Structure 1
Protein backbone atom coordinates (compact mmCIF):
# COMPACT_ATOMS: atom_id res chain seq x y z
CA UNK A 1 0.00 0.00 0.00
CA UNK A 2 1.47 3.36 -1.04
CA UNK A 3 1.55 5.87 1.81
CA UNK A 4 2.08 9.64 1.61
CA UNK A 5 3.69 12.22 3.87
CA UNK A 6 5.66 15.46 3.89
CA UNK A 7 9.33 15.56 4.80
CA UNK A 8 11.74 18.45 5.47
CA UNK A 9 14.78 18.51 3.20
CA UNK A 10 17.30 21.35 2.74
CA UNK A 11 14.97 24.05 3.97
CA UNK A 12 11.98 22.98 1.86
CA UNK A 13 9.18 20.46 2.28
CA UNK A 14 8.86 17.58 -0.13
CA UNK A 15 5.82 15.38 -0.60
CA UNK A 16 6.80 11.72 -0.86
CA UNK A 17 5.03 8.47 -1.67
CA UNK A 18 6.49 5.29 -0.18
CA UNK A 19 5.94 1.55 0.04
CA UNK A 20 7.87 -1.53 1.13
CA UNK A 21 10.79 -2.44 3.35
CA UNK A 22 14.42 -3.15 2.56
CA UNK A 23 17.18 -1.27 0.75
CA UNK A 24 16.03 2.20 -0.28
CA UNK A 25 15.18 2.96 -3.93
CA UNK A 26 14.50 6.61 -4.78
CA UNK A 27 12.43 7.18 -7.95
CA UNK A 28 12.73 10.63 -9.57
CA UNK A 29 10.08 11.83 -12.04
CA UNK A 30 10.49 14.17 -15.00
CA UNK A 31 8.53 16.93 -16.80
CA UNK A 32 5.59 17.38 -16.74
CA UNK A 33 5.02 14.64 -14.19
CA UNK A 34 4.83 13.80 -10.48
CA UNK A 35 5.40 10.90 -8.08
CA UNK A 36 2.40 9.24 -9.79
CA UNK A 37 4.57 8.56 -12.86
CA UNK A 38 5.98 5.60 -10.92
CA UNK A 39 2.68 4.05 -9.81
CA UNK A 40 3.39 0.89 -11.83
CA UNK A 41 6.74 0.41 -10.08
CA UNK A 42 5.79 0.60 -6.39
CA UNK A 43 4.18 -2.83 -5.99
CA UNK A 44 6.70 -4.89 -7.99
CA UNK A 45 9.75 -3.23 -6.40
CA UNK A 46 8.29 -3.52 -2.90
CA UNK A 47 7.45 -7.19 -3.51
CA UNK A 48 11.05 -7.71 -4.65
CA UNK A 49 12.22 -6.56 -1.22
CA UNK A 50 12.91 -2.85 -1.61
CA UNK A 51 11.76 0.29 0.19
CA UNK A 52 10.43 2.50 -2.61
CA UNK A 53 10.19 6.28 -2.26
CA UNK A 54 9.10 8.71 -4.99
CA UNK A 55 9.03 12.43 -4.20
CA UNK A 56 7.29 15.24 -5.95
CA UNK A 57 10.54 17.03 -6.71
CA UNK A 58 10.89 20.73 -5.86
CA UNK A 59 8.58 22.86 -7.99
CA UNK A 60 6.12 19.99 -8.51
CA UNK A 61 2.91 18.66 -7.00
CA UNK A 62 2.51 19.11 -3.26
CA UNK A 63 6.18 19.93 -2.69
CA UNK A 64 7.47 23.47 -2.12
CA UNK A 65 8.01 25.76 -5.10
CA UNK A 66 10.72 28.34 -4.36
CA UNK A 67 10.23 31.66 -6.18
CA UNK A 68 13.90 32.14 -7.06
CA UNK A 69 14.75 30.62 -10.46
CA UNK A 70 18.30 29.95 -9.23
CA UNK A 71 16.87 27.61 -6.56
CA UNK A 72 16.34 24.95 -9.24
CA UNK A 73 19.96 24.34 -10.23
CA UNK A 74 21.31 20.82 -10.58
CA UNK A 75 23.19 21.29 -7.28
CA UNK A 76 19.92 22.07 -5.47
CA UNK A 77 18.24 19.05 -7.07
CA UNK A 78 21.09 16.68 -6.19
CA UNK A 79 21.09 18.18 -2.70
CA UNK A 80 17.42 17.30 -2.36
CA UNK A 81 18.12 13.65 -3.21
CA UNK A 82 21.03 13.38 -0.80
CA UNK A 83 19.05 15.19 1.90
CA UNK A 84 16.03 12.97 1.30
CA UNK A 85 18.10 9.81 1.71
CA UNK A 86 19.45 11.12 5.01
CA UNK A 87 16.01 12.30 6.20
CA UNK A 88 14.68 8.79 5.55
CA UNK A 89 17.29 7.45 7.96
CA UNK A 90 19.58 5.92 5.36
CA UNK A 91 23.21 6.53 4.39
CA UNK A 92 22.95 5.10 0.87
CA UNK A 93 20.31 4.30 -1.74
CA UNK A 94 19.69 3.18 -5.29
CA UNK A 95 18.57 6.12 -7.42
CA UNK A 96 16.39 5.84 -10.54
CA UNK A 97 15.28 8.74 -12.73
CA UNK A 98 13.17 9.37 -15.83
CA UNK A 99 13.31 12.40 -18.13
CA UNK A 100 14.56 15.34 -15.96
CA UNK A 101 14.77 12.89 -13.07
CA UNK A 102 17.46 11.00 -15.00
CA UNK A 103 19.98 13.90 -15.07
CA UNK A 104 19.30 14.37 -11.36
CA UNK A 105 19.96 10.67 -10.74
CA UNK A 106 23.07 10.63 -12.95
CA UNK A 107 24.48 13.77 -11.30
CA UNK A 108 23.75 12.42 -7.82
CA UNK A 109 25.86 9.39 -8.71
CA UNK A 110 28.52 11.58 -10.33
CA UNK A 111 28.82 14.07 -7.46
CA UNK A 112 28.12 11.73 -4.52
CA UNK A 113 29.15 8.19 -5.47
CA UNK A 114 29.52 7.45 -1.75
CA UNK A 115 25.75 7.81 -1.36
CA UNK A 116 24.53 6.02 -4.50
CA UNK A 117 24.67 2.21 -4.54
CA UNK A 118 23.45 2.01 -8.13
CA UNK A 119 21.89 4.39 -10.65
CA UNK A 120 19.42 3.87 -13.49
CA UNK A 121 18.28 6.40 -16.07
CA UNK A 122 15.23 6.13 -18.31
CA UNK A 123 15.08 8.09 -21.60
CA UNK A 124 17.90 10.56 -20.85
CA UNK A 125 21.40 9.03 -21.08
CA UNK A 126 24.29 9.74 -18.68
CA UNK A 127 25.72 13.28 -18.72
CA UNK A 128 28.80 14.14 -20.73
CA UNK A 129 29.31 17.89 -20.40
CA UNK A 130 29.54 19.68 -23.75
CA UNK A 131 31.94 22.39 -24.78
CA UNK A 132 29.34 25.21 -24.79
CA UNK A 133 26.19 26.22 -22.86
CA UNK A 134 23.28 24.04 -24.06
CA UNK A 135 20.75 26.85 -24.54
CA UNK A 136 23.25 28.74 -26.67
CA UNK A 137 23.94 25.63 -28.75
CA UNK A 138 20.26 24.93 -29.39
CA UNK A 139 19.51 28.61 -30.07
CA UNK A 140 22.04 28.60 -32.88
CA UNK A 141 21.14 25.16 -34.25
CA UNK A 142 17.37 25.70 -34.41
CA UNK A 143 17.06 29.51 -34.65
CA UNK A 144 15.54 29.74 -31.18
CA UNK A 145 12.74 27.26 -31.94
CA UNK A 146 13.95 24.35 -29.79
CA UNK A 147 11.58 23.85 -26.88
CA UNK A 148 14.29 24.52 -24.27
CA UNK A 149 14.64 28.04 -25.62
CA UNK A 150 10.87 28.55 -25.68
CA UNK A 151 10.63 27.44 -22.06
CA UNK A 152 13.22 30.10 -21.17
CA UNK A 153 11.02 32.99 -22.31
CA UNK A 154 9.89 34.49 -18.97
CA UNK A 155 6.28 33.69 -18.22
CA UNK A 156 5.38 32.65 -21.78
CA UNK A 157 5.15 28.86 -21.57
CA UNK A 158 3.90 29.23 -17.99
CA UNK A 159 0.82 31.11 -19.21
CA UNK A 160 0.23 28.94 -22.27
CA UNK A 161 0.27 25.67 -20.35
CA UNK A 162 -1.85 26.94 -17.44
CA UNK A 163 -4.77 28.15 -19.59
CA UNK A 164 -6.17 24.61 -19.71
CA UNK A 165 -3.97 22.33 -17.64
CA UNK A 166 -5.79 19.11 -18.46
CA UNK A 167 -5.65 19.71 -22.22
CA UNK A 168 -1.99 20.73 -21.99
CA UNK A 169 -1.06 17.48 -20.27
CA UNK A 170 -3.23 15.33 -22.55
CA UNK A 171 -1.53 16.82 -25.62
CA UNK A 172 1.97 16.50 -24.13
CA UNK A 173 1.59 12.89 -23.15
CA UNK A 174 0.16 11.87 -26.49
CA UNK A 175 2.71 13.86 -28.52
CA UNK A 176 5.71 12.25 -26.85
CA UNK A 177 4.29 8.74 -26.66
CA UNK A 178 5.05 5.81 -28.89
CA UNK A 179 1.41 5.94 -30.04
CA UNK A 180 1.74 9.31 -31.80
CA UNK A 181 2.04 9.30 -35.62
CA UNK A 182 5.61 9.89 -36.78
CA UNK A 183 7.08 9.05 -33.37
CA UNK A 184 9.80 6.95 -35.01
CA UNK A 185 10.95 9.61 -37.47
CA UNK A 186 13.55 11.28 -35.24
CA UNK A 187 11.63 14.56 -35.23
CA UNK A 188 12.85 17.45 -33.06
CA UNK A 189 10.50 19.25 -30.61
CA UNK A 190 10.47 22.69 -32.24
CA UNK A 191 8.13 25.53 -31.28
CA UNK A 192 6.96 28.66 -33.09
CA UNK A 193 7.38 31.28 -30.30
CA UNK A 194 4.55 33.33 -31.76
CA UNK A 195 2.02 30.48 -31.83
CA UNK A 196 3.23 28.57 -28.79
CA UNK A 197 3.70 24.81 -28.53
CA UNK A 198 0.20 23.53 -27.95
CA UNK A 199 -1.37 25.01 -31.09
CA UNK A 200 0.14 22.37 -33.36
CA UNK A 201 -0.16 19.37 -31.01
CA UNK A 202 -2.85 16.76 -31.57
CA UNK A 203 -5.53 16.49 -28.90
CA UNK A 204 -6.39 12.78 -29.02
CA UNK A 205 -10.04 11.76 -28.87
CA UNK A 206 -9.03 8.58 -27.03
CA UNK A 207 -6.08 8.25 -24.66
CA UNK A 208 -3.53 5.45 -25.14
CA UNK A 209 -4.34 2.31 -23.13
CA UNK A 210 -1.42 2.87 -20.77
CA UNK A 211 -2.54 6.42 -19.84
CA UNK A 212 -6.01 6.43 -18.29
CA UNK A 213 -8.39 9.24 -17.40
CA UNK A 214 -7.53 8.54 -13.74
CA UNK A 215 -3.84 9.05 -14.54
CA UNK A 216 -4.69 12.33 -16.25
CA UNK A 217 -6.80 13.38 -13.26
CA UNK A 218 -3.90 12.77 -10.87
CA UNK A 219 -1.47 14.62 -13.08
CA UNK A 220 -3.82 17.57 -13.61
CA UNK A 221 -4.29 17.95 -9.87
CA UNK A 222 -0.53 18.01 -9.32
CA UNK A 223 -0.25 21.05 -11.63
CA UNK A 224 -3.08 23.00 -10.03
CA UNK A 225 -0.44 25.47 -8.81
CA UNK A 226 0.87 26.11 -12.31
CA UNK A 227 3.95 25.16 -14.32
CA UNK A 228 6.50 27.80 -13.30
CA UNK A 229 8.37 25.68 -10.75
CA UNK A 230 8.74 22.86 -13.28
CA UNK A 231 9.81 25.23 -16.07
CA UNK A 232 12.44 26.77 -13.80
CA UNK A 233 14.43 23.55 -14.15
CA UNK A 234 14.93 24.39 -17.84
CA UNK A 235 15.85 27.97 -16.96
CA UNK A 236 18.93 26.60 -15.19
CA UNK A 237 20.36 24.64 -18.13
CA UNK A 238 23.16 27.11 -18.83
CA UNK A 239 23.73 27.71 -15.12
CA UNK A 240 24.07 23.94 -14.65
CA UNK A 241 26.68 23.89 -17.42
CA UNK A 242 28.65 26.53 -15.52
CA UNK A 243 28.27 24.85 -12.13
CA UNK A 244 29.42 21.45 -13.37
CA UNK A 245 32.67 22.73 -14.91
CA UNK A 246 34.77 21.03 -12.19
CA UNK A 247 33.43 17.66 -13.41
CA UNK A 248 34.35 18.19 -17.06
CA UNK A 249 35.47 14.79 -18.37
CA UNK A 250 34.26 12.93 -15.26
CA UNK A 251 32.29 9.72 -15.78
CA UNK A 252 29.67 8.08 -13.55
CA UNK A 253 31.51 5.27 -11.76
CA UNK A 254 28.54 3.88 -9.83
CA UNK A 255 27.01 0.66 -11.26
CA UNK A 256 24.55 1.88 -13.88
CA UNK A 257 21.64 0.95 -16.13
CA UNK A 258 20.19 2.87 -19.08
CA UNK A 259 16.79 2.14 -20.67
CA UNK A 260 15.11 4.01 -23.55
CA UNK A 261 12.38 3.66 -26.17
CA UNK A 262 13.08 3.56 -29.88
CA UNK A 263 10.18 6.00 -30.49
CA UNK A 264 11.31 8.48 -27.82
CA UNK A 265 12.08 12.08 -28.87
CA UNK A 266 14.94 12.54 -26.38
CA UNK A 267 17.35 9.84 -27.61
CA UNK A 268 16.96 11.42 -31.07
CA UNK A 269 18.26 14.83 -29.92
CA UNK A 270 21.33 16.04 -31.87
CA UNK A 271 24.38 13.97 -30.93
CA UNK A 272 22.46 11.64 -28.61
CA UNK A 273 22.21 8.56 -30.90
CA UNK A 274 25.99 8.62 -31.30
CA UNK A 275 26.44 8.96 -27.53
CA UNK A 276 24.16 6.00 -26.81
CA UNK A 277 26.06 3.85 -29.29
CA UNK A 278 29.36 4.64 -27.56
CA UNK A 279 28.08 4.37 -23.98
CA UNK A 280 29.47 0.88 -23.25
CA UNK A 281 33.02 2.06 -23.99
CA UNK A 282 32.58 5.56 -22.54
CA UNK A 283 31.08 4.34 -19.25
CA UNK A 284 32.50 1.03 -17.99
CA UNK A 285 30.14 1.12 -14.99
CA UNK A 286 27.19 0.13 -17.20
CA UNK A 287 26.21 -3.36 -16.07
CA UNK A 288 24.71 -4.22 -19.46
CA UNK A 289 24.31 -2.58 -22.84
CA UNK A 290 21.64 0.16 -23.08
CA UNK A 291 18.22 -1.49 -23.15
CA UNK A 292 16.20 -0.34 -26.18
CA UNK A 293 12.46 -0.94 -25.95
CA UNK A 294 10.83 -1.42 -29.36
CA UNK A 295 7.74 0.68 -29.97
CA UNK A 296 8.17 2.66 -26.76
CA UNK A 297 7.95 6.44 -26.64
CA UNK A 298 9.12 8.91 -24.01
CA UNK A 299 7.04 7.79 -21.01
CA UNK A 300 9.16 4.68 -20.52
CA UNK A 301 8.02 3.27 -17.18
CA UNK A 302 4.36 4.04 -17.93
CA UNK A 303 4.25 2.80 -21.53
CA UNK A 304 6.19 -0.38 -20.83
CA UNK A 305 5.92 -1.08 -17.09
CA UNK A 306 6.48 -4.85 -17.25
CA UNK A 307 9.75 -4.57 -19.17
CA UNK A 308 10.99 -1.63 -17.12
CA UNK A 309 10.12 -3.38 -13.85
CA UNK A 310 11.90 -6.55 -14.96
CA UNK A 311 15.03 -4.58 -15.94
CA UNK A 312 15.07 -2.60 -12.69
CA UNK A 313 14.45 -5.60 -10.45
CA UNK A 314 17.14 -7.62 -12.24
CA UNK A 315 19.62 -4.72 -11.92
CA UNK A 316 18.81 -3.90 -8.29
CA UNK A 317 18.75 -7.49 -7.02
CA UNK A 318 22.06 -8.16 -8.74
CA UNK A 319 23.63 -5.20 -6.93
CA UNK A 320 22.00 -6.15 -3.64
CA UNK A 321 23.69 -9.49 -3.98
Structure 2
Protein backbone atom coordinates (compact mmCIF):
# COMPACT_ATOMS: atom_id res chain seq x y z
CA UNK A 1 0.00 0.00 0.00
CA UNK A 2 1.98 2.95 -1.32
CA UNK A 3 1.78 6.73 -0.98
CA UNK A 4 -0.63 7.10 1.94
CA UNK A 5 -1.11 10.67 3.14
CA UNK A 6 -1.80 12.19 6.59
CA UNK A 7 -5.35 11.62 7.77
CA UNK A 8 -5.32 12.17 11.52
CA UNK A 9 -2.85 13.95 13.77
CA UNK A 10 -2.23 13.56 17.50
CA UNK A 11 -0.77 16.68 19.06
CA UNK A 12 0.60 16.90 22.59
CA UNK A 13 1.54 20.42 23.55
CA UNK A 14 3.34 21.95 20.58
CA UNK A 15 4.58 18.62 19.22
CA UNK A 16 3.00 16.39 16.58
CA UNK A 17 3.37 13.19 18.60
CA UNK A 18 1.70 10.67 16.26
CA UNK A 19 0.43 10.65 12.69
CA UNK A 20 -2.01 8.28 10.99
CA UNK A 21 -1.72 7.92 7.22
CA UNK A 22 -4.24 6.53 4.77
CA UNK A 23 -6.21 6.73 1.55
CA UNK A 24 -9.69 8.05 0.77
CA UNK A 25 -11.87 8.52 -2.30
CA UNK A 26 -15.15 10.31 -3.04
CA UNK A 27 -17.00 9.06 -6.15
CA UNK A 28 -20.05 10.51 -7.89
CA UNK A 29 -23.04 8.72 -9.39
CA UNK A 30 -21.21 8.14 -12.68
CA UNK A 31 -18.52 6.23 -10.82
CA UNK A 32 -15.94 8.96 -11.34
CA UNK A 33 -13.50 10.09 -8.66
CA UNK A 34 -14.30 13.65 -7.61
CA UNK A 35 -11.87 13.86 -4.68
CA UNK A 36 -9.08 11.63 -3.46
CA UNK A 37 -6.30 11.49 -0.93
CA UNK A 38 -3.38 9.08 -1.08
CA UNK A 39 -3.56 6.25 -3.62
CA UNK A 40 -7.05 5.71 -5.08
CA UNK A 41 -5.88 2.40 -6.55
CA UNK A 42 -4.69 0.93 -3.25
CA UNK A 43 -6.08 -2.60 -2.92
CA UNK A 44 -7.92 -3.07 0.36
CA UNK A 45 -10.24 -5.32 2.32
CA UNK A 46 -13.33 -3.23 3.18
CA UNK A 47 -14.16 -5.63 5.99
CA UNK A 48 -17.53 -4.85 7.65
CA UNK A 49 -17.92 -1.70 5.55
CA UNK A 50 -19.08 -4.04 2.77
CA UNK A 51 -22.02 -5.53 4.67
CA UNK A 52 -24.67 -3.68 2.68
CA UNK A 53 -23.19 -5.18 -0.50
CA UNK A 54 -23.26 -8.65 1.09
CA UNK A 55 -26.92 -8.06 1.97
CA UNK A 56 -28.01 -7.21 -1.58
CA UNK A 57 -28.67 -10.85 -2.63
CA UNK A 58 -30.87 -11.27 0.46
CA UNK A 59 -33.32 -8.91 -1.23
CA UNK A 60 -32.69 -9.44 -4.95
CA UNK A 61 -33.14 -13.21 -4.58
CA UNK A 62 -36.64 -12.75 -3.17
CA UNK A 63 -35.62 -14.19 0.21
CA UNK A 64 -36.40 -11.00 2.16
CA UNK A 65 -39.88 -10.81 0.65
CA UNK A 66 -40.52 -14.53 1.14
CA UNK A 67 -39.67 -14.36 4.84
CA UNK A 68 -41.30 -10.97 5.36
CA UNK A 69 -38.12 -9.32 6.65
CA UNK A 70 -38.62 -5.95 8.30
CA UNK A 71 -36.49 -2.82 8.02
CA UNK A 72 -35.05 -3.71 11.43
CA UNK A 73 -33.85 -7.05 10.11
CA UNK A 74 -32.37 -5.40 7.02
CA UNK A 75 -30.53 -2.93 9.26
CA UNK A 76 -29.18 -5.83 11.32
CA UNK A 77 -28.00 -7.56 8.14
CA UNK A 78 -25.71 -4.52 7.64
CA UNK A 79 -24.74 -4.19 11.29
CA UNK A 80 -21.64 -4.51 13.41
CA UNK A 81 -23.60 -4.39 16.64
CA UNK A 82 -22.53 -4.31 20.28
CA UNK A 83 -24.48 -7.36 21.44
CA UNK A 84 -26.98 -5.28 23.38
CA UNK A 85 -30.42 -6.71 24.11
CA UNK A 86 -31.94 -4.66 21.27
CA UNK A 87 -29.65 -6.58 18.91
CA UNK A 88 -29.59 -10.08 20.35
CA UNK A 89 -33.32 -10.26 21.06
CA UNK A 90 -34.06 -9.41 17.43
CA UNK A 91 -31.47 -11.83 16.05
CA UNK A 92 -32.82 -14.64 18.23
CA UNK A 93 -36.34 -13.91 16.99
CA UNK A 94 -35.02 -13.99 13.41
CA UNK A 95 -33.41 -17.39 13.99
CA UNK A 96 -36.67 -18.68 15.46
CA UNK A 97 -38.51 -17.39 12.40
CA UNK A 98 -36.20 -19.56 10.28
CA UNK A 99 -36.63 -22.58 12.55
CA UNK A 100 -32.92 -22.41 13.39
CA UNK A 101 -30.80 -21.98 16.52
CA UNK A 102 -27.54 -20.42 17.64
CA UNK A 103 -25.71 -23.59 16.58
CA UNK A 104 -26.57 -22.92 12.94
CA UNK A 105 -24.40 -19.82 12.96
CA UNK A 106 -20.80 -20.02 11.75
CA UNK A 107 -19.64 -16.64 13.09
CA UNK A 108 -18.33 -17.76 16.50
CA UNK A 109 -19.14 -16.40 19.99
CA UNK A 110 -18.07 -12.94 21.09
CA UNK A 111 -18.20 -11.09 24.40
CA UNK A 112 -20.69 -8.21 23.97
CA UNK A 113 -19.34 -4.73 23.48
CA UNK A 114 -22.44 -3.39 25.24
CA UNK A 115 -21.58 -2.79 28.91
CA UNK A 116 -24.95 -3.82 30.45
CA UNK A 117 -25.00 -7.05 28.43
CA UNK A 118 -21.37 -7.79 29.28
CA UNK A 119 -21.82 -7.02 32.99
CA UNK A 120 -24.91 -9.21 33.17
CA UNK A 121 -22.94 -12.05 31.63
CA UNK A 122 -20.15 -11.62 34.18
CA UNK A 123 -22.60 -11.48 37.11
CA UNK A 124 -24.33 -14.68 36.04
CA UNK A 125 -21.05 -16.40 35.11
CA UNK A 126 -22.44 -17.14 31.66
CA UNK A 127 -20.65 -17.42 28.34
CA UNK A 128 -21.34 -15.53 25.13
CA UNK A 129 -23.16 -17.24 22.29
CA UNK A 130 -22.77 -16.71 18.58
CA UNK A 131 -25.82 -14.44 18.64
CA UNK A 132 -23.63 -11.97 20.59
CA UNK A 133 -21.18 -11.81 17.69
CA UNK A 134 -21.21 -8.32 16.19
CA UNK A 135 -21.88 -9.91 12.79
CA UNK A 136 -24.79 -12.14 13.86
CA UNK A 137 -27.29 -9.99 11.93
CA UNK A 138 -25.29 -10.43 8.74
CA UNK A 139 -25.12 -14.16 9.38
CA UNK A 140 -28.86 -14.32 9.99
CA UNK A 141 -29.17 -12.80 6.53
CA UNK A 142 -26.80 -15.41 5.13
CA UNK A 143 -28.87 -18.20 6.72
CA UNK A 144 -32.07 -16.71 5.32
CA UNK A 145 -30.61 -16.62 1.83
CA UNK A 146 -29.19 -20.15 2.17
CA UNK A 147 -32.57 -21.48 3.24
CA UNK A 148 -34.27 -19.66 0.36
CA UNK A 149 -31.75 -21.15 -2.09
CA UNK A 150 -32.02 -24.62 -0.59
CA UNK A 151 -28.25 -24.50 -0.15
CA UNK A 152 -26.13 -26.32 2.44
CA UNK A 153 -25.36 -25.27 6.01
CA UNK A 154 -21.72 -24.22 5.46
CA UNK A 155 -22.75 -20.85 4.13
CA UNK A 156 -19.38 -19.22 4.92
CA UNK A 157 -17.46 -21.34 2.39
CA UNK A 158 -16.25 -19.15 -0.45
CA UNK A 159 -17.75 -21.47 -3.08
CA UNK A 160 -21.14 -21.67 -1.32
CA UNK A 161 -24.00 -20.12 -3.36
CA UNK A 162 -24.52 -17.46 -0.68
CA UNK A 163 -20.94 -16.22 -0.93
CA UNK A 164 -20.87 -16.48 -4.70
CA UNK A 165 -23.99 -14.30 -4.83
CA UNK A 166 -22.22 -11.82 -2.56
CA UNK A 167 -19.14 -11.84 -4.79
CA UNK A 168 -21.26 -11.16 -7.89
CA UNK A 169 -22.89 -8.17 -6.14
CA UNK A 170 -19.51 -6.95 -4.94
CA UNK A 171 -17.92 -7.01 -8.39
CA UNK A 172 -20.97 -5.50 -10.06
CA UNK A 173 -21.24 -2.53 -7.72
CA UNK A 174 -17.49 -1.84 -7.43
CA UNK A 175 -17.09 -2.17 -11.19
CA UNK A 176 -13.97 -4.29 -10.66
CA UNK A 177 -13.03 -7.95 -10.51
CA UNK A 178 -11.95 -8.81 -7.00
CA UNK A 179 -8.30 -9.95 -7.04
CA UNK A 180 -8.48 -12.01 -3.86
CA UNK A 181 -10.28 -12.59 -0.59
CA UNK A 182 -9.41 -12.97 3.08
CA UNK A 183 -11.30 -14.57 5.95
CA UNK A 184 -13.03 -12.00 8.11
CA UNK A 185 -13.32 -12.03 11.89
CA UNK A 186 -16.72 -13.72 11.58
CA UNK A 187 -15.26 -16.45 9.31
CA UNK A 188 -16.99 -15.26 6.13
CA UNK A 189 -14.87 -14.37 3.10
CA UNK A 190 -14.16 -10.68 2.60
CA UNK A 191 -13.40 -9.70 -0.98
CA UNK A 192 -10.73 -7.17 -1.90
CA UNK A 193 -11.10 -4.17 -4.17
CA UNK A 194 -9.51 -0.75 -4.55
CA UNK A 195 -10.43 2.26 -2.48
CA UNK A 196 -11.96 3.69 -5.65
CA UNK A 197 -13.94 0.51 -6.25
CA UNK A 198 -15.46 0.73 -2.80
CA UNK A 199 -16.27 4.43 -3.18
CA UNK A 200 -17.85 3.67 -6.55
CA UNK A 201 -20.02 1.00 -4.94
CA UNK A 202 -21.15 3.43 -2.25
CA UNK A 203 -21.98 6.04 -4.91
CA UNK A 204 -24.04 3.36 -6.68
CA UNK A 205 -25.96 2.89 -3.43
CA UNK A 206 -26.28 6.66 -3.01
CA UNK A 207 -27.82 7.09 -6.46
CA UNK A 208 -30.07 4.01 -6.30
CA UNK A 209 -33.24 6.12 -6.25
CA UNK A 210 -32.44 7.25 -9.79
CA UNK A 211 -32.86 3.69 -11.08
CA UNK A 212 -35.63 1.10 -10.98
CA UNK A 213 -33.80 -2.19 -11.51
CA UNK A 214 -34.13 -4.89 -8.85
CA UNK A 215 -30.66 -4.38 -7.36
CA UNK A 216 -31.10 -0.62 -7.08
CA UNK A 217 -34.47 -1.01 -5.37
CA UNK A 218 -32.76 -3.39 -2.92
CA UNK A 219 -30.01 -0.83 -2.33
CA UNK A 220 -32.60 1.81 -1.50
CA UNK A 221 -34.19 -0.52 1.04
CA UNK A 222 -30.87 -1.23 2.75
CA UNK A 223 -29.82 2.42 2.96
CA UNK A 224 -33.26 3.37 4.29
CA UNK A 225 -33.04 0.63 6.91
CA UNK A 226 -29.60 1.77 8.05
CA UNK A 227 -30.57 5.43 8.37
CA UNK A 228 -33.89 4.58 10.02
CA UNK A 229 -32.29 2.30 12.63
CA UNK A 230 -28.82 3.66 13.46
CA UNK A 231 -29.05 2.06 16.90
CA UNK A 232 -29.25 -1.39 15.28
CA UNK A 233 -26.40 -0.76 12.84
CA UNK A 234 -23.92 -0.26 15.70
CA UNK A 235 -25.12 0.66 19.19
CA UNK A 236 -25.13 3.32 21.87
CA UNK A 237 -21.85 5.18 22.07
CA UNK A 238 -20.61 3.96 18.69
CA UNK A 239 -19.51 6.37 15.97
CA UNK A 240 -21.75 4.92 13.25
CA UNK A 241 -24.83 5.35 15.42
CA UNK A 242 -23.84 8.75 16.80
CA UNK A 243 -22.89 10.32 13.48
CA UNK A 244 -25.87 8.96 11.56
CA UNK A 245 -28.12 10.48 14.22
CA UNK A 246 -26.20 13.76 13.98
CA UNK A 247 -26.87 13.85 10.23
CA UNK A 248 -30.59 13.34 10.74
CA UNK A 249 -30.82 10.07 8.85
CA UNK A 250 -29.65 11.65 5.59
CA UNK A 251 -26.37 9.71 5.35
CA UNK A 252 -25.52 6.06 5.96
CA UNK A 253 -22.06 5.32 7.32
CA UNK A 254 -20.43 2.05 8.26
CA UNK A 255 -17.13 1.17 9.84
CA UNK A 256 -14.97 -1.83 9.08
CA UNK A 257 -12.12 -3.41 11.00
CA UNK A 258 -8.55 -2.20 10.51
CA UNK A 259 -9.41 1.45 9.99
CA UNK A 260 -11.99 1.29 7.20
CA UNK A 261 -15.03 3.54 6.75
CA UNK A 262 -17.64 4.21 4.09
CA UNK A 263 -20.36 6.82 3.64
CA UNK A 264 -23.44 6.79 1.40
CA UNK A 265 -24.82 10.27 0.70
CA UNK A 266 -28.07 10.02 -1.33
CA UNK A 267 -28.81 13.77 -1.46
CA UNK A 268 -25.48 14.42 -3.17
CA UNK A 269 -25.28 11.07 -5.01
CA UNK A 270 -21.81 10.58 -3.51
CA UNK A 271 -20.00 7.59 -2.06
CA UNK A 272 -16.97 7.71 0.23
CA UNK A 273 -14.41 5.08 1.17
CA UNK A 274 -11.36 5.47 3.37
CA UNK A 275 -8.65 3.23 4.74
CA UNK A 276 -6.22 4.09 7.53
CA UNK A 277 -2.95 2.33 6.78
CA UNK A 278 -2.14 1.34 10.36
CA UNK A 279 -5.72 0.18 11.06
CA UNK A 280 -6.39 2.69 13.86
CA UNK A 281 -10.07 3.24 14.65
CA UNK A 282 -9.46 6.63 16.28
CA UNK A 283 -8.02 7.79 12.97
CA UNK A 284 -10.77 6.38 10.74
CA UNK A 285 -13.48 7.96 12.91
CA UNK A 286 -11.69 11.31 12.86
CA UNK A 287 -11.10 11.15 9.11
CA UNK A 288 -14.65 10.16 8.13
CA UNK A 289 -16.06 12.92 10.33
CA UNK A 290 -13.76 15.46 8.66
CA UNK A 291 -14.70 14.31 5.15
CA UNK A 292 -18.41 14.45 6.00
CA UNK A 293 -17.92 17.98 7.34
CA UNK A 294 -16.03 19.00 4.21
CA UNK A 295 -18.85 17.62 2.04
CA UNK A 296 -21.38 19.73 3.94
CA UNK A 297 -23.44 16.88 5.40
CA UNK A 298 -22.15 16.93 8.98
CA UNK A 299 -22.16 20.05 11.18
CA UNK A 300 -18.65 20.71 12.46
CA UNK A 301 -20.16 22.18 15.63
CA UNK A 302 -22.52 19.31 16.40
CA UNK A 303 -21.81 17.74 19.83
CA UNK A 304 -21.48 14.31 18.24
CA UNK A 305 -18.91 15.57 15.74
CA UNK A 306 -16.82 16.81 18.65
CA UNK A 307 -16.45 13.22 19.86
CA UNK A 308 -14.37 12.33 16.80
CA UNK A 309 -12.91 15.56 15.40
CA UNK A 310 -10.61 17.84 17.38
CA UNK A 311 -11.01 15.61 20.41
CA UNK A 312 -9.19 16.80 23.56
CA UNK A 313 -6.68 14.37 25.04
CA UNK A 314 -7.42 14.27 28.75
CA UNK A 315 -5.12 12.61 31.26
CA UNK A 316 -6.24 10.78 34.40
CA UNK A 317 -6.72 14.10 36.20
CA UNK A 318 -8.82 15.44 33.31
CA UNK A 319 -6.05 17.82 32.32
CA UNK A 320 -6.15 18.69 28.63
CA UNK A 321 -2.84 17.50 27.22
CA UNK A 322 -3.44 17.62 23.48
CA UNK A 323 -5.84 16.90 20.66
CA UNK A 324 -6.79 14.32 18.01
CA UNK A 325 -7.54 16.29 14.86
CA UNK A 326 -7.92 15.64 11.13
CA UNK A 327 -5.17 16.50 8.71
CA UNK A 328 -5.79 19.92 7.20
CA UNK A 329 -6.05 18.47 3.68
CA UNK A 330 -9.26 16.60 4.57
CA UNK A 331 -11.16 19.79 5.27
CA UNK A 332 -10.90 21.29 1.78
TM-score over 0.5 (shorter chain): no
* More RCO (CA 8 Å, sep 6+): 2
TM-score, with structure 2 as normaliser: 0.29
Structure (1 or 2) with the larger CA radius of gyration: 2
